[in-house]
Structure 1
């Protein structure tokens, strides 16, 4: 038996014949030290409803519950994993709810309805992690329904999330994250921590919403950043030509010869406000 009274995760995987599927972006974490470290990075969970995406056989789920999470709602697409998760739910009565379904089709705000403190904690499937993050960052209501997110990504994606102007990794994702949130890489993980080992390193990112983010329309900000970074090697007067080019930049007080990676989040917001004033999306 393991530290929580449940069978070791490797035994669970063997018993239920749970082999990770590449098509689902699965890479299982067996190391209890790591899953506990992720759970602790999310903070005090004793009064929290935790939303987990892609729990698989339940390694991180068990760590969250063992670390005192008041309630865990786990969304799992792979039906093969449901019996293993049912065992965890039985071991922690009324504290674990398993939702069988696709995370991309899930209304997470509805799942969190009524909860005072919501944390999203997940070893996200690599093939949908970035899309889910953008959805969580760009919801219409702010502050959002979640109080923090502690998420596993490919290290390259994690670096893009926390990147600042001038960093090689700075791009659209860094602007969207920096616009509304504070983000930090908590720790890195090598491929050997997973089964099967991915071909890339991974990292855990902790994200908290800003109390007073700069006001702008997310759709317009996305359009401006997409145009700017879509031709990142070109000067802004060229990459933003379809949105007003030099005239737009002059209004914002930004030199037309600069490139996208040199602009701060605040400057992107200024450009978005000007575009919004003159463009109907």
Structure 2
């Protein structure tokens, strides 16, 4: 299939008078080769449905469309809509743009079947969106994979293990207890306009089997309590969660340990003990 001849992204941004705004957590990527590499991380996307959050002027959107994906993009910055409309015309039938706040839109209402989420997430809402996509009792989820740009520090927290206690926390447990999460690519700050103060990284997540007999909400409650007071021993941080200390005793988990010393399986075991 012949690809449309698109103007350089910098030209599009200049023509539409666009600039990244700190209030929306925006940082634009212009390197087309880098964007194509990001779009390739989920695998072959030809004919696949993809959700993109915060496309901005459409850099990553271009790469996804070139890969043959059917893209639904949610953008709340009205300034970017004309540039995205030009992409819709260049790739007829492949791009649907929704003006709105992604934190208030349920992706399941946008697709009839499975879909991938690929996004350079706005820094100010990225973690909230990610934990939302990981939550819920229904599993496997409707999304087939998540390919998401985060600040490198956040990405490292997602893939962390107890071997790195400073990074291991609630985010790692939620990402790993029924999913496989890996750091797919680091992205230098110089690749962005304007350059952020920190490095970034792409995290790729795919659903795995959900452990039996445990409620997702109960696991969230356990991790919220344990890591909400992570410097304290479990006997202190979990005492406000009914039945938690007795569960530790039944499981043979020393209540003098701190949350970051437990592995994912131990958190799942505690939540299973507390799941009615």
- Asked if the contact 2:244–2:270 (Cα under 8 Å) also holds between the matched residues in 1, the reply is no
Aligned to 2:251: 252
Residues 1:161 and 2:158 aligned together? yes
Q: 1:248 to 1:212 in 2, by over 3 A?
A: closer
TM-score, reference length from structure 2: 0.95
CA-to-aligned-CA distance 1:178-204 (integer Å, 9 cap, x gap): 111000001111111101111111000
> How far did 1:153 drift?
0.4
Change in CA separation of 1:94 and 1:171 when aligned onto 2, cut-off 3 Å: same
SS state at 2:23 partner: helix
| 2:112 corresponds to 1:132 | no
How far apart, in 1, do the equivalents of 2:272 and 2:67 lie? 44
Contact 1:179 1:214 in 2 (8 A): no
1:8 offset after TM fit, Å?
Answer: 0.4
Instruction: Give the alignment's TM-score, normalised by structure 1.
Output: 0.93
CA distance in 1, matches of 2:212, 2:53: 29
Separation in 1 of the partners of 2:67 and 2:255?
A: 52
Instruction: Provide the secondary structure at the position in 2 that maps to 1:44.
Output: coil
**Is 2:230 the partner of 1:232?**
yes
Count of matched residue positions in the alignment of Structure 1 and Structure 2 = 272
Matches within 5 A, 1:186-225: 186-225=184-223
* Alignment of structure 1 residues 1-281 onto 2, 5 Å: 4-69=4-69, 71-112=70-111, 114-115=112-113, 117-167=114-164, 168-243=166-241, 244=243, 246-277=245-276
Contact 1:51/1:119 (<8 A) preserved = yes
What secondary structure is seen at the aligned counterpart in 1 of 2:177?
helix
In the alignment, the residues of structure 2 paired with residue 141 and residue 275 of structure 1 have an alpha-carbon distance, to the nearest angstrom, of 19
- The two structures, once aligned, show a CA RMSD in angstroms of 1.4
Unaligned runs of 5+ in 2: none
Of 169-178 and 134-143, deviating more is 134-143
Distance across 2 between alignment mates of 1:217 and 1:119:
25
Q: Deviations over 1:12-31 (max 9, x none)?
A: 00000111111111001011
Q: Give the Å deviation of 1:226.
A: 1.2
Report if aligned partners of 2:51, 2:118 keep a CA contact under 8 Å in 1. Answer: yes
